[in-house]
Amino acid sequence: MIGQHIVYDTLHELKIPYEYYESPRDFSSEDDGAFWKRIGAERCKNLFLRNHKGNQHFLVISKYYETFQVKILEDHFKKGKISFASEKRMDKWIKTKPGAVSVFSLLNDTENHSKVFVDESLKDVEHVTFLPNMHNAILKISTKDFIRLLDYSGNEWEFFKLR
């Protein structure tokens, strides 16, 4: 199976059931939403961001097809601009490549450095999907188990209104 071993080891350890899907195009042909409706899960967007000083990093998780504004986070913190983290920072903190970031990336954040913001609209969905820290595969898990993973990671996290 495609993905980092830590993802599957953790799912097994926590007894979290999942459904595994592969796509040779990294799910790009499924952008119309038909695939996600067929599997019965919410496609999630995962963004790894940093503050302007670069001393704090954030994982923001929201519904894929909905936009969110970084300005909302900037206004919340009142500490300057927030921007995308570089590939070097991603490798250092979450050991994940650009485009493959997900909740599972937190399993690599052994210092619990990254703070996580989950769009509150995800509270109301039954299942969510995430990349297993690599392209071309996706895992479907229940939202309840997604929250268990967040708690297990040890990272500080909260539901947040991102729109």
Over the stretch 41-58, which tens digit does the pLDDT of each residue have? 999 999 999 988 888 899
Distance from C-alpha of 79 to C-alpha of 114, rounded to nearest angstrom? 16
Distance from C-alpha of 108 to C-alpha of 94, rounded to nearest angstrom? 5
Residue that wins the pLDDT comparison between 100 and 37: 100
The two three-digit tokens of residue 139, written as one number = 């895992």
Residue 163 pLDDT grade (very low, low, confident, very high; cuts 50, 70, 90): confident
Domain definitions of the chain by residue range: 5-21+37-155
One-letter amino acid at 12 equals H
Q: Mean pLDDT, the chain, as a whole number?
A: 89
CATH superfamily of domain region 5-21+37-155: YbaK/aminoacyl-tRNA synthetase-associated domain (3.90.960.10)
pLDDT tens readout for residues 13-27: 999 999 999 875 655
